[in-house]
Structure 1
Amino acid sequence: MALEVLVEQYRSLLVSVGLFVVAYLAVYAAGRVLFVPPVVRIVHRRNENNPTLENAVDLYTRVFFVVLAFPIAVAAAGFGRYLSGSAIVVAAATLAVGVAGQDVISNLVSGVFLVLDRNFNVGDFVRWNDRGGTVIGIGLRTTRVRTPNNEIVTIPNNDLSTKRVTHPYDGVRYRVEEPISVAYEANHDEIRSVLREVADEDDRILSKPAPALHVAQLDDSSVRLTIRYWVVEPAETDILATRTDYAERVVARLAKAGVAVAPASPQELSGSLTIERRSVDRS
């Protein structure tokens, strides 16, 4: 009897909660099944080869229906009268959430700007704060980047939208600079010839513009030079492997031509030397 009385007392509340859950799930499911897929397909047809925009549209539309379902479910369950009667409490709660969630809101807005930026896409190699990696996903609050060491770094969207981000491999070619030291008597024309020959043997390095040699600094015992050459299709080329192969072949070819790389520095010694003669007893 007591259980029946208790159920009777809370029947209206249970019905309202049930209506809230059913309405919330119905709105979200309808949007997720009937609205999101067609929108994603339209975006895909109009923006081919743009996974950044496709993923963002899919994510943001799902979040939209998550948020939209809440007021509809509140109205369907009849909870609106409770909320309207507690306007001060709702306003205070809204203010508290807004103050506490400033960083979250900032990252959400920054995420939208990153998605709309055509120069920032999934698959791009970027550098930020002396670090680098390939963008693998742009979320609501953070962006995930895979570093050359295969680490997954999670970066707040606000950091990427407000600070300097470099796209080193965004063009059709990328300039590489390599330092090298040679003796003063080395023939620079011969070195330039070797640089061009080695570059011509590698399809990853452009022959036009040809590799260039510049004097960077005059040291006490050697001339510090800078080799500059261009790599084709940097986004698809292993830059580190290309630099290693080119440097090894240049050093080997220069050694074969008799050009000393990184010659030893002469050291000037000063001081005194004392020689003592010892007599030998021959008896």
Structure 2
Amino acid sequence: MDLQQITDEIVLIVTQYGLDVIGALIILIVGYIISKRVPSILIRLMGKRGIDPTVSGFLGSLARFAILAITLLLVLAQFGVQTASLIAVLGAAGLAIGLALQGTLSNVAGGVMLLIFRPMKVGQYVEVAGHGGTVKSISLFTSELATPDNIQIIIPNGSVWGSAIRNFSFHPTRRMDLVVGISYDDDIDKARGIIDRLIQADERSLKEPAHVIEVIELADSSVNFTVRVWCENANYFPLKFALTKAIKQTFDKEGISIPYPQRDVHLIKED
């Protein structure tokens, strides 16, 4: 092959594939620029809407990889590669991987939903998936709780999102319930007045909603009051402890007894 033939071959190749190469380069450049810009825009928009940075970063990365994958397919199509079969293979591979990692993907999906909808936040006390504790962290895969005795509990997010969540810290106020029993021989109105006076004397009890003191049950050995008092969330246990102690001490001073289960045994002597 002489020089002229080589030159003709090069010209032919450039003529046939030159535009495809230029088009592919343009697609690569544009796709790369878009893959850099779009995730940043998404993260910024989600940040303005208060979405957790972990979620926004994760979704931004997904968007970037999706744009790069589409760019690669467009480049292959530019050179005449049949992308339909390639997409089918990738889809089958993705399905197989998804089935193999369905537990992990379920946890990721649960983590994204938790971080977007925020049914619980760090620092709140919740009961979820059969466990109770203060939320310490929420990641894409797991949520961490600390029990009142400071035991760490790590729960997969799939279990958290798939169960009922009882959030004791969501509302700023909370109702405290007590059951107080007195003897059948004691004065009901007097006992009720004492409880009412003690509640009003404690500044941690809220005036609105008003507290409730009513006889709820005539039990086997006592007349039971239900006592319902509203307070700030942070004052729930301090108020409950203080009010329980004050009721017992004041009842003792006022001569009102708090009965406890007991049984009288009568011995009958037979001749």
Q: TM bucket by the smaller chain? A: 0.5 to 0.7
Alpha carbons of structure 1 residues 151 and 64: separation in structure 2 relative to 1, 3 Å: farther
| Residue number in structure 2 paired with 1:227 | 227
The one-letter code of the counterpart of 1:56 is: V
Q: C-alpha separation between the residues in 2 aligned to 1:214 and 1:129?
A: 35
Q: Secondary structure at the match of 2:245?
A: helix
Unaligned residue ranges in structure 2 (runs of 5+): 1-31, 74-80
Q: Secondary structure at the match of 2:113?
A: helix
| Residue number in structure 1 paired with 2:218 | 218
Tell me the CA shift for residue 128 of structure 1.
2.1
Tell me the CA shift for residue 248 of structure 1.
0.6
TM-score (norm 2): 0.67
Residue correspondence of structure 1 range 160-175 to structure 2 within 5 A: 160-175=160-175
Alpha carbons of structure 1 residues 112 and 191: separation in structure 2 relative to 1, 3 Å: same
Q: Secondary structure at the match of 2:192?
A: helix
Query: Which structure shows the bigger proportion of residues in helix conformation?
Result: 2
Tell me the CA shift for residue 184 of structure 1.
0.7
Alpha carbons of structure 1 residues 207 and 191: separation in structure 2 relative to 1, 3 Å: farther
| Residue number in structure 1 paired with 2:236 | 239
Q: Which of residues 247, 250, 253 is equivalent to 2:247? A: 250
Question: 1:182 touches 1:263 (CA, 8 Å); kept in 2?
Answer: no
The one-letter code of the counterpart of 2:247 is: V
Residue correspondence of structure 1 range 26-65 to structure 2 within 5 A: 43-47=46-50, 53-61=52-60
Unaligned residue ranges in structure 1 (runs of 5+): 1-26, 76-80, 275-283
Question: 1:143 touches 1:156 (CA, 8 Å); kept in 2?
Answer: yes
Residue correspondence of structure 1 range 15-30 to structure 2 within 5 A: none
Q: C-alpha separation between the residues in 2 aligned to 1:213 and 1:222?
A: 16
The one-letter code of the counterpart of 1:104 is: T
TM-score (norm 1): 0.65
Alpha carbons of structure 1 residues 222 and 154: separation in structure 2 relative to 1, 3 Å: same
Corresponding pairs, count: 231
The one-letter code of the counterpart of 2:53 is: E
Alpha carbons of structure 1 residues 273 and 41: separation in structure 2 relative to 1, 3 Å: farther
Alpha carbons of structure 1 residues 85 and 222: separation in structure 2 relative to 1, 3 Å: closer
Question: 1:196 touches 1:210 (CA, 8 Å); kept in 2?
Answer: no
Question: 1:134 touches 1:147 (CA, 8 Å); kept in 2?
Answer: yes
The answer to whether structure 1 residue 138 and structure 2 residue 138 are counterparts is: yes
